[in-house]
Amino acid sequence: MTAIIKKEINLFFSSLIAYISMAVFFIALALNLFIFQGNILDSNYATLDTFFTLAPWILLFLIPAITMRSFADEKQSGTIELIATKPITDFQIVAGKFIAALCLWTFTFLPTLIYFICVKTLSLTEAPIDSGATYGSYIGLYFLGAVFVAIGIFSSAITNNQIVAFLIGVFLCYVMYDVFFRISSLPIFQGQLDYWIQSIGLNAHYDSISRGVVDTRDIVYFLSVISLFLIGTKTALESRKW
C-alpha cells in the first residue's frame, strides 16, 4: 500500500496539473479575499467568511480534477490488472489511492493558514478575528475536502475515462454539498422533514462546524460519508471479477 501512495504522489507532482490546480485555488481565493469587491480590506471586518464560503465551490472542481485519473487511467492503460496481481487486497488498493489523494489535499490545504495569519495580524486589538469560529471552519473545510476526495476516487473507479470521471465527480460533489440543502428549502417540506433532508447533505454539517462548535455528530457524519464512498469504490473495483 505504501508503494501505491508514493506512486500516486510522485505521478501527481510530476505533471502540470498539480501546480496549476494549486495555483488556481490560491489565486482565486486571494483575489476574492483581498482584491475583488467585498474584500476584507474594504469591509473593515476581520473575518474569513468570504474564504470559507468560496472555498467549497472551488474544491468542487479542484478535487475531482486531482482524483479523476486515480482508477480511470489505470483501467484505460490496463495497469489495474497488473496491480491486482501483486500481494495486495482491493481494500489496500482503494485505501492507498485515497490516502495519496488525501495527502495531496492536505498539501493544498495547509498553506491556506497564511490567510488566517494575515487577517489576524491586520486586525485591530479591539476587534480581533473570531479565532474559535475560524478554527472550526478550517476543520470543517478539511473534512469537506476529504469527502470530496472519497467521491472523486469513487467516480474514477466506475469509468475508464478521466473526463467522464471528472464530470461525475463534480456532479456528485455538487449533489452532496448543495442539492439536499436546496431541496430542503422547498415549500412542500415543512416541520422536521426539511431538517432531516438538509442533514443528509454536506452543507449543513459544514456550516455547523463553522460556527466554532466541533460537534462529534458532524465528524461522525463526515467519516460515514467517506466510508460509504470508499466501500462503493471497493465494490466498483471488485466488479471487474464478476
How high is the pLDDT of residue 150?
A: 96
The domain tally of the chain equals: 1
Q: How far apart are CA 159 and CA 209, in angstroms?
A: 34
Produce one character per residue of 67-80: b if its CB has 16 or more CB atoms within 10 Å, e if not: bbbbbbbbbeeeeb
**Per-residue model confidence as pLDDT tens digits over 157-177:** 999 899 999 999 999 999 999
Q: How far apart are CA 54 and CA 8, in angstroms?
A: 28
What percent of the chain lies above the pLDDT cut of 90? 31
The chain-wide mean pLDDT, for the chain, equals 83
How high is the pLDDT of residue 37?
A: 52
> DSSP assignment of 114-171, as one string?
HHHHHHHHHSBTTB---HHHHHHHHHHHHHHHHHHHHHHHHHHHT-S-HHHHHHHHHH
* DSSP code, position 86: S
CB atoms within 10 A of CB 87: 5
Residue 150: domain span: 2-241
How high is the pLDDT of residue 147?
A: 97
Q: What pTM did the predictor assign? A: 0.90
Kindly give, in sequence order, each residue whose CB lies less than 8 Å from that of residue 237, ignoring residues fewer than 6 positions away. 71, 80, 90, 93, 94, 157
**Per-residue model confidence as pLDDT tens digits over 24-37:** 888 888 887 777 65
What percent of the chain lies above the pLDDT cut of 70? 88
Name which residue leads in pLDDT, 86 or 199: 199
**Per-residue model confidence as pLDDT tens digits over 107-166:** 889 888 888 887 777 765 555 677 778 888 899 999 999 999 999 999 999 998 999 999
How high is the pLDDT of residue 63?
A: 93
Q: Quick check: 76 pLDDT over 60?
A: yes
Q: Quick check: 80 pLDDT over 80?
A: no
